[in-house]
Chains A and B, each alone.
Chain A
Amino acid sequence: MNKSEYKNIVKKYTPNEDKLKNAFYAFVSGGIIGLLSASIYALFISNDVESTIATSCTLVILILASSLLTGLGFFDTFVEKFKCGIIIPITGFAHSLTSEAIDNKNDGMITGLGASIFKLAGSVLLYGMVSAFILAIIKVIMNG
């Protein structure tokens, strides 16, 4: 049996993921997070907070909430249920940092926690910055 024949057998017996169902959960849960952030932001604005400060404060609250829930051990069960709806927003970024920090705290402050905290989030940072840089160049070229 060659490798491609085997690939077909594997395909035959391997279950497909419920992509549509997962996307729906992600859509709803992502939407709820969006709604929640918009409400927090609106609350700040209605209390006469400046809009840039209101944005930062909303983000800080979301980061704090997801880090706290990660530390208390609930967040991973939420993610398993709601999938990318809570990984993609900033909640997921905070979650990756906190979970790496907890995981590596016993391996030393420098060699463990410090070295590993950006292991998952590093890609988000790097490629976020690279794409921001490219988009900025495109913007400059187009707008002069």
Chain B
Amino acid sequence: MASLKFKNVYLSDNYTIVGPLEAKSNLKKYNMKINDYYFGLKTFEGAEVKMQRVIIDHLLKKNKDIELIVGGDLSNQLVTTSFMAANYSISYLGSYSACATFNSSIITLGALIDAKKINKGIAITSSHNKVAERQFRYPIEYGAPRVKRSTYTATGALGVVLTSSKTNIKVESATIGSSIDYGVKDALNMGAVMAPAAANTLYKHLNDLNRKIDYYDLIITGDLGKYGANIFKELCSNNYNLIVNNYLDAGSNLYKEEQNLNAGSSGPITLPLYLFNNILNSKKYKKILVIATGSLHSTTLVNQHNSIPSIAHAISLEVS
């Protein structure tokens, strides 16, 4: 039961907050930018919670009848999203798929709306460069040299309302990926970790729904990065005989070349930032397959020399 078809799940209002580097990136629009990584608070963790709160507050102004918030982030025990949710009396379900969290949230919420259990909910995700650096890498002020294959965790948050009432963006179907481990142990090379999961989910999706790859006007992956995107294309043709042409990777395209951020952007926010602010409003694409990719590791298990499993969840969007 890897793939699900939805009849009445639509995306409605969304709200985007971006960090300083993301505001200078290739993003065409955003609702709010923060110049200060602390967002006026004492800690980076507090700042990330506040970003999510501001988004929920904005979305609740127009949508009073929200029944459920589903979301997640990169922090241990999902504290960012959970601390945000503690400010509201709305039901809340945390979701963790690392950088594929946005799609796992949409799939959970979409399935509940499609089954007519609820009518309206919010899917939210965020990442904060400094919070991720502290948790996964080195102290903020520690100047560890960055290698070319490494990606840079984007700062931002995005929430979107999912509803059963018709809008111009339909969530048409979804594929829940499997956790896949191809033996990569290098946590700096997350593109290589996640590419096999992305290729596998793409294959499963097309196979389950009996579609050819050119059914889609665009296939967009989350944060494989410049090198991971090439590995993904090669895996698709080698393993699954799929030639991927109409394709782009959000992580490779978010930052400008002159921002010098190595392989590109990563973090759960990368994909929704690019999707909502550059792709969906461009009106260029009607049928879009969104494959979010996540590297399911912790520093503890990497230090214990384990190879890293990865996950990719896909959602198919139809823009009218």
Contact = CB atoms under 8 A, between A and B. Distances in A.
B43 interface: yes
B140 A103 contact: yes
A76 B142 contact: yes
B138 interface: yes
Contact of B234 (A3, A7, A9, A100): A9
A123 to B, nearest CB: 13
Interface residues of B, number: 28
A96 interface: yes
A76 B182 CA distance: 34
Contacts of A99: 138-143
A128 interface: no
Given A6-B182, A9-B235, A15 B139 contact: no
Contact of B141 (A10, A17, A75, A83): A75
Interface stretch (B10-18, B24-32, B145-153, B209-217): B145-153
B42 A120 contact: no
A13 interface: yes
Interface string A125-136: 000000000000
Interface string B43-76: 1000000000000000000000000000000000
A109 interface: no
A103 B192 contact: no
B238 interface: yes
A52 interface: no
Binding site of A, secondary structure by majority: helix, strand, loop or mixed?
helix
Interface string A3-43: 10011011011111100001000000000000000000000
B143 A95 contact: yes
A6 B180 CA distance: 13
A15 B142 contact: no
Given A9-B234, A17-B148, A120-B138, A80 B227 contact: no
B242 interface: no
Contact of A79 (B42, B134, B145, B234): B145
A14 B189 contact: yes
Contacts of B1: none
B183 A7 contact: yes
Tell which of A14, A76, A79, A98 has the most Cβ of chain B within 10 Å: A14
Interface of B: 42-43, 134, 138-149, 182-184, 189, 192, 196, 227, 230-231, 234-235, 238-239
Given A70-B141, A104-B139, 15 more contacts: A9-B234, A9-B238, A10-B184, A10-B192, A13-B231, A14-B227, A22-B145, A75-B143, A80-B145, A95-B142, A100-B142, A102-B141, A103-B134, A103-B139, A103-B142
6 contacts: A1-B182, A1-B235, A10-B192, A14-B189, A77-B143, A95-B142
The 7 A-B residue pairs with the shortest CB-CB distance, nearest first, are: A79-B143, A76-B143, A103-B139, A3-B183, A99-B142, A99-B141, A99-B139
Interface of A: 1, 3, 6-7, 9-10, 12-17, 22, 70-71, 73, 75-80, 83-84, 87, 95-96, 98-100, 102-104, 106, 120
